[in-house]
Amino acid sequence: MFEKVLIANRGEIALRIIRTCRDLGVPTVAVYSTPDAEARFVRAADESVHIGPGAPSRSYLNIPNIIGAALRTGADAVHPGYGFLSEDPYFAEICADAGVTFIGPPPDVMENVGDKATARRLMTEAGLPLLPGTTEPVDSADSAEQIAREIGYPVIIKAAAGGGGRGITVVHRAEDLRDAYARTRAGAQAVFKNSAVYIERYLTRTRHIEIQVLCDDFGGAIHLGERDCSVQRRHQKLVEESPGPNISPELRERLGAAAVAGARAVGYRGAGTVEFLLETDPAAADTFWFMEMNARIQVEHPVTELVTGVDIVSEQLRVASGAPLSVKQEDVVVRGHAIECRINAEDPDRDFAPTPGLLENYRVPGGPWVRVDTDYVPGSRVSPYYDSMIGKLIVWGPDRATALDRARRALAEFDVSGPGVHTTIPLHQEILSHPEFTRTGVTTDFLERNFAL
């Protein structure tokens, strides 16, 4: 195991990683920006290093400052969490050059799965089903129009280097294609520094199902079941649950086997997620398509931990330190049901506009089978510099109905207030009480069909 781990992230995920390191007896180093100086994760770490002002480009994305902090404190490993530098192969290479272990997949693997067009090609070669579309970047508007005509509208244009729901444009009509292509490329270049895009057929009534995989350097490759992430706004997840509602054992086995095959095909190591779209048309029941692979720990990993009992961060640390996975596929047993609600400082009535500000009151729920991952306390300030998520509410129950009851109870206890601060708590309460959601697995257009947002 490592001598000391530096967490190149902030907030709840930094605190989450620190806690597992403490369980394993591994000292930790937190890096922080000026606005985060009094944050809980900074106080929880054994050491802390200031790395810059609030702007991410000058702090949490500042590779020289982060590497310098690791070298000064004697950290021999860096955990990137999610977001920021977590899927940056260049950062992983710099860590290796500095003699610091990057807790994640090798840089070349990260580069292959991070480029969505390349990932599609590799997964096709591994035998995973793909929606009609391109496996190479589309290099001109003329080519884009021809491809769209061949596969049929609607189509979706995606940034090859995209992620987190960004860099995506849905096109329903041929006359909108050229403008959408140009806008998506320009946006991809501005956000991801890579203008490459690919095109695939867009399905309006599908479920978003993802499979958690774990791989080591000794041939170990397993999955921990599925998560249903279909409740989304602007392609960003709001509610996640495991196992997926109305997923048959046979379909679960097929999804898991496909995910493991894909992970093996790219030489994956560590914790990753293989994402699929699941057809809901009864005529094509249990048909699914590969969408993308995320080379990092996911925001929603706690729901998998609650139903399997596997500490995913612990497995990441084991594998990165050169040890095999501590669990085999036959050891994985899914028990009960878990639901996660992302609590964001956003106003759903204003197109989910972020509402940063002072949290004068911040009381999280408790009680049996309730977990809240958060870095905030009363008096904390939600910064305009970073993601608006202020906490994750995760509950477990022996079945889905009980988990829903506990989630509704916990949401009623969640009390957040401050000048100008709005949250997604009321919306979550509506979602978890909606008949369509409580009855069955919903599709990715659930929110737009049922809520005037």
- Sheet with 337-344, edge to edge strand ranges: 288-294, 270-279, 206-215, 221-233, 236-242, 337-344, 389-397, 370-373
Q: Is the pLDDT of residue 163 over 80?
A: no
Q: Is the pLDDT of residue 400 over 70?
A: yes
Q: Is the pLDDT of residue 164 over 70?
A: no
Mean pLDDT of the chain: 94
pLDDT on residue 162: 74
Residue 441 has a pLDDT of 84
Question: Could you tell me if 103 and 78 are in contact, meaning their C-beta atoms sit under 8 angstroms apart?
Answer: yes
Architecture of the domain made up of 5-103: 3-Layer(aba) Sandwich (3.40)
Span 215-237, mean pLDDT?
A: 95
pLDDT > 70? residue 216: yes
- Check residue 161 and give its pLDDT: 79
**Cα dihedral sign, 126-128-132-133:** negative
Check: CB of residue 176 under 8 Å from CB of residue 208.
Answer: no
Dump pLDDT digits (tens) for 255-302. 999 999 999 999 999 999 999 999 887 767 789 999 999 999 999 999
Per-residue pLDDT at 180 exceeds 70: yes
Residue scoring higher pLDDT (135 or 174): 174
CA atoms of 141 and 121, how far apart (whole Å): 21
Those residues with Cβ within 8 angstroms of residue 175's Cβ, 6 or more apart along the chain or in another chain:
none
Any idea where the domains of the chain sit in the sequence? 5-103, 132-201, 206-450
Per-residue pLDDT at 214 exceeds 70: yes
- The model's pTM is 0.91
Model confidence over 317-337: pLDDT tens digits? Answer: 999 999 999 999 999 999 999
- What is the pLDDT at residue 403? 98
Q: Which of 120, 118, 140 is nearest to 128 (CA)?
A: 120
Q: Measure the CA–CA gap between 97 and 99, rounded to whole angstroms.
A: 5
What local confidence, expressed as pLDDT, does residue 344 receive? 97
Decide if 172 contacts 154 (C-beta within 8 A): yes
19: left (phi over 0), alpha (psi -120 to 50) or beta: alpha
Note the residue count of the chain.
453
Backbone angles phi and psi of 165, in degrees to 5: 80, 5
* Cβ contacts of 43-49, under 8 Å, gap ≥ 24: 44/15, 44/18, 44/19, 45/7, 45/14, 45/18, 46/4, 47/73, 49/73
CATH fold, domain 206-450, is: D-amino Acid Aminotransferase; Chain A, domain 1 (3.30.470)
**265 sits in which H/E element:** helix 249-265
User: Which region holds residue 40: left if phi is over 0, alpha if psi is between -120 and 50, else beta?
Assistant: alpha
Considering the domain delimited by 132-201, tell me its CATH architecture: 2-Layer Sandwich (3.30)
Q: Residue written as tokens 């972020």?
A: 354
Mean pLDDT along residues 67-88: 97
The whole-number average pLDDT for the span 83-112 is 96
428 or 187: which leads in pLDDT: 428
Range from 189-198, 208-217, 349-358 carrying the lowest mean pLDDT: 189-198
Query: What's the average model confidence in pLDDT over 375-395?
Result: 96
Q: What is the pLDDT of residues 244-266, one digit of tens each?
A: 999 999 999 999 999 999 999 99
Q: Decide if 296 is catalytic.
A: yes
CB atoms within 10 A of CB 355: 19
pLDDT of 165: 67
Say which of 185, 233, 252, 296 is annotated catalytic. Answer: 296
Topology alike, domains 132-201 and 206-450: no
